[in-house]
A and B are shown apart, each in its own frame.
Chain A
Amino acid sequence: MSESNASATRITPGNALRPEDIAASDARPTADVAEYALWLGDDSLILAQRLGWWISRAPELEEDVALANIGLDLLGHARSFLTYAGHASGRTEDDLAYFRREPEFRSAHLFEQPNGDFARTIARQFVVSHYQWELYSHLVHSSDATLAAIAAKAVKEVDYHRDHSAQWILRLALGTDESRRRMEAGLKLTWPYVGELFTDYAPVDALGDAAVRPSSLQAAFDAAVGTALSEAELEVPSVPQAVGGGRQGRHSEHLGYILAEMQVLAREHPGASW
């Protein structure tokens, strides 16, 4: 490892931080920071796995690559967060991704929601990327240097995800009657899971300046999402909120199937590499 990789704290927002750099660094998170990193990492990991399904199935080859790129960006963020989280307990990113059981995952329910049709996937991505953009825009100022460095890399990528989904919402909403019907249905199916993203938890409050309070992001999220939807002549769906519980390891029926597929190879062949 070169000297510039010796510590994650050396990474500036201008440099891409790699999971390998974090693995090699001696920055150790506290147990609480590790738990928070796990939340952020699991969100991105589960959605990356979901988006991977679209490869070879998207409406057009160009969109196939676009969704795969977004999934790979998210997987990169997940690797960084999980690598850092694992530092607290001597575990690797693979230990955390492949050898935890369902109740040990901390992702919010939105991320495990089914892909549905293309419009539903876009609706989910629209919410996720606006949420993550607000989150990472604040997390770059975290008092934890590694979290700040991961956010600095992620925020630029998420900015593009935001644009990608907003462009599609415009086209689907203002396209044909059928595309508009599907876009509205996709948003309606997605919105019950928005509330969980902005629910505060005592462990995060205890982290102070290291973390970002979820509720502090809601106003900016609502404003940005409202503007983008009104440009597409859509309204924020008025639907009851789901119960949530992902941060405590209580998941919907979907996560088990995702994990079964994601983890089977590593569990059947422990230590396999290529």
Chain B
Amino acid sequence: MTGGSTTGDDGATAPSTGLQEKRQGWPLWEVFVRSSRGLSHVHAGSLHAPDADMAVRNARDLYTRRNEGVSLWVVPSSSIITSDPDAKEQFFESPQGKDYRHATYYTKSEGVKHL
């Protein structure tokens, strides 16, 4: 179980100590928990597991022990493609000032009831 790292199981770089070498055998997985029917799966955290079958079991043991969930997804962290943290401006600032993309921007027509 670690924080937000998504570097996962590439294992490509850096000479390492024995402990780190062992770690490379257990890839990182991201865990998504659905708390009840009708809601979507929400990212809960990550964990290490040797394979997919054990990952979903570890997720059960780590993230649902207080009755949090009715369904689990695990995804290899290496399969998740993230947006570039350095590209926030290009990616996320464009909607600012475009209020007309919100329904509340528009005034209701007089003839429309029950809206």
Which A positions have Cβ atoms within 8 angstroms of B?
A: 60-63, 65-66, 69, 160, 163-164, 167, 171
Q: In the bound complex, do residue A167 and residue B57 qualify as a contact, i.e. CB atoms below 8 Å apart?
A: yes
Q: In the bound complex, do residue B48 and residue A69 qualify as a contact, i.e. CB atoms below 8 Å apart?
A: no
Write the nearest CB–CB distance from A68 to chain B, whole angstroms: 9
Among candidates B48, B50, B61, residue contacting A66 with C-beta atoms closer than 8 Å: B61
Known: A60-B48, A167-B57, A171-B51. 19 other contacts (CB 8 A): A60-B26, A61-B1, A62-B47, A62-B48, A62-B49, A62-B58, A62-B62, A65-B58, A65-B61, A65-B62, A65-B65, A66-B57, A66-B58, A69-B65, A160-B60, A163-B57, A167-B53, A171-B50, A171-B54
Listed from nearest, the 3 A-B pairs whose CB atoms lie closest are A62-B58, A66-B61, A65-B61
| A-B interface contact total, Cβ < 8 Å | 30
A61-B1, A62-B47 known; A167+B61 contact, CB < 8 A: no
**CB-nearest residue of chain A to B23:** A60
**CB-nearest residue of chain B to A168:** B54
Residues of B within 8 A of A61 (CB): 1, 48
Q: A171–B51 Cα gap in the complex (Å)?
A: 10
Residues of A within 8 A of B49 (CB): 62
Q: In the bound complex, do residue B1 and residue A62 qualify as a contact, i.e. CB atoms below 8 Å apart?
A: yes
Q: A62–B54 Cα gap in the complex (Å)?
A: 10
Among candidates A65, A69, A160, A167, residue contacting B54 with C-beta atoms closer than 8 Å: A167
Which of A60, A163, A171 is packed against the most chain B CB atoms within 10 Å? A60
Residues of B within 8 A of A62 (CB): 1, 47-49, 58, 61-62
Q: In the bound complex, do residue B57 and residue A164 qualify as a contact, i.e. CB atoms below 8 Å apart?
A: yes
Tell me the residues in window 38-81 of chain B with beta carbons closer than 8 Å to chain A beta carbons: 47-51, 53-54, 57-58, 60-62, 65
Write the nearest CB–CB distance from B96 to chain A, whole angstroms: 41
A167-B54, A171-B54 known; A69+B61 contact, CB < 8 A: yes
Q: A184–B57 Cα gap in the complex (Å)?
A: 24
Q: A180–B52 Cα gap in the complex (Å)?
A: 21
Q: A150–B16 Cα gap in the complex (Å)?
A: 50
**CB-nearest residue of chain A to B63:** A65
Residues of B within 8 A of A160 (CB): 60
Which of A62, A167, A171 is packed against the most chain B CB atoms within 10 Å? A62
Write the nearest CB–CB distance from A80 to chain B, whole angstroms: 19
**CB-nearest residue of chain B to A171:** B50
Write the nearest CB–CB distance from A156 to chain B, whole angstroms: 13
9 contacts between A and B (CB under 8 A): A60-B48, A61-B1, A61-B48, A62-B1, A62-B62, A65-B58, A66-B58, A66-B61, A164-B57
**CB-nearest residue of chain A to B60:** A160
Write the nearest CB–CB distance from B55 to chain A, whole angstroms: 9
Q: A63–B58 Cα gap in the complex (Å)?
A: 7
